[in-house]
Structure 1
Amino acid sequence: MSTREEAGRLLAKRLGAYRDGRVVVLALPRGGVPVAAEIARELHAPLDLLIVRKIGLPWQPELAYAALVEGNPPELVINDDVARFAPLGDSVLAEAVRDETAEIERRRSVYMGTRAALDVRGRSVILVDDGLATGTSARAALKALRRREPSRLVLAVPVAPAETLAELRPLVDEIVCLATPDPFRAIGLHYEDFHQLEDDEVLLLMREADTK
């Protein structure tokens, strides 16, 4: 794949059955937004964001102890595998939740202004990212989304390890993935252009989606 946009167009071809239906496309920002924007355009579907913030261990921030999924209120999803051997104290976790809740609110305000999040109850939901490695954020997002009672829950990603998809499969009705390379290495190696998206790029894509 050359770009995230191309990946989105390729995924949209595999998702044609959802065109013009009661479907909502949700992007995991930032990287998932260009992919999801192309899917939403092709399916004539509304585009929204689902902001997820990882909560790492204080002494190993890259190891996700939990993830906070935006909502009213935000939903905390604990990584049970990590919590079993490295439990966090209630006060430490509460402080992390406060910090990440503030960041979720900041990002929602920057990207979406005052627009309310779309209601997914009774609708098909396609959750999109630009690729998965461990799938921590996607796992938390899917668990939270399932509790919001969509009629169907689909995960669409351009690239991911087969073992990660196998772990996520029980959480969804369908997975659409373009490539499952082995060995996997890193998401960015499967794109010619995998630049770090900034807030202004996300904002522009969301504004363009609103005008279509």
Structure 2
Amino acid sequence: MYFRNRAEAGRLLAKKLIKYKGQPVTIMALSPGAVIVGAQIAMHLHASMAMLLTEGVYLPGEFDALAGLSSEGTYTYNNMLTAGQIEEMVGEYNQYIEQQRIEKRHRLNLLLGRNGEINRDTLRRHAVVVVSDGLPNGFSIDVASDFLDTIAIGKLIIACPIASVPSVDRMHLLADEICCLSVIDNYIETNHYYDENTIPDISGALKVMNNIVQNWHKS
């Protein structure tokens, strides 16, 4: 399935989630691209928005991340690795990993600043819709789930226009409800599934989220 742009994909997801309109709901986007998708859902459901970013921690010569650090400080190991593999890597590269964590945390703080901090009161006892613009794997939703485990949310919903088969399997394990428009057997890369790929920078994404309430009337 292909989409003209991320806004179109967001409107299609919003139609499937319209039953939550007027309820205590918060949209949590996982990237600036996901903000464009999530903004459409937030406008239609009259919901607030937040953004949770992730920085991967990579070991030298490795293609897949060992772990992910969220912008809220939670740290999640890649579920594709066994406990034995993680223990071996951490033992061998402990100092390097700690340095990576410090650098990634600093980078996330610089990117988001105080304006990007998530108000946990907007998540507590709410239905939280975690939104991605595309999921080639389930790593980012693992990070999001670990963060949300620190908060007493009401319900976890994962929404995305496109996802790989392994991602959908992971969603079924983590979420109370999933909303996915298209499951891809051979996932290429997220931009491939959109005709237009205009994505804001972090500052632009924060502005989109801050303007959500003013745009409720447009839904």
Alignment deviations for residues 98-127 of structure 1 (CA, whole Å, 9 cap, x no partner): 111112212221xx6276524222111000
For structure 1, which runs of at least 5 residues remain unmatched after alignment?
none
In the alignment, what sits opposite 1:142?
A: 145
Q: 1:163 to 1:10 in 2, by over 3 A?
A: same
- 2-side partners of 1:138 and 1:167: how far apart? 8
Number of residues paired by the alignment?
207
Amino acid at match of 1:204: K
Aligned residue runs from structure 1 range 182-201, under 5 A: 182-201=185-204
2:127/2:153 contact within 8 Å kept: yes
Distance 2:181 2:118 in 1: 32
**Aligned with residue 61 of structure 2, among 46, 59, 72:** 59
Identity %: 27
Q: CA RMSD in A?
A: 2.0
Given that residues 133 and 160 in structure 1 are in contact (C-alpha distance below 8 angstroms), is that contact kept between their aligned partners in structure 2?
Answer: yes
In structure 1, the residue matched to 2:207 is: 204
Which sections of structure 2, spanning at least 5 residues, go unmatched?
Answer: none
Instruction: Say which is worse superposed, 113-122 or 91-100, in terms of deviation.
Output: 113-122
Say whether residues 1:103 and 2:77 are aligned partners.
Answer: no
Which whole-Å deviations, capped at 9, do the CAs of 1:61-86 have from their partners, x for residues lacking one? x4110011232xx1111125436336
Q: Which residue of structure 2 lines up, in the alignment, with residue 8 of structure 1? A: 10
| Cα offsets for 1:23-62 (capped at 9, x unmatched) | 11111122111001111011000011112211122322x4
Amino acid at match of 1:76: Y
Contact preservation (8 Å) 1:8, 1:39: yes
Match for residue 98 of structure 2?
94
Aligned position for 1:76 = 75
Match of 1:17 among 10, 16, 19: 19
In structure 2, relative to structure 1, the CA distance for the partners of 1:210 and 1:146 (3 Å cut) is same
Residue type matched to 2:96 in 1? Answer: V
Change over 3 Å in CA distance of 1:206–1:94 after alignment to 2: same
* Partner AA of 1:205 in structure 2: V
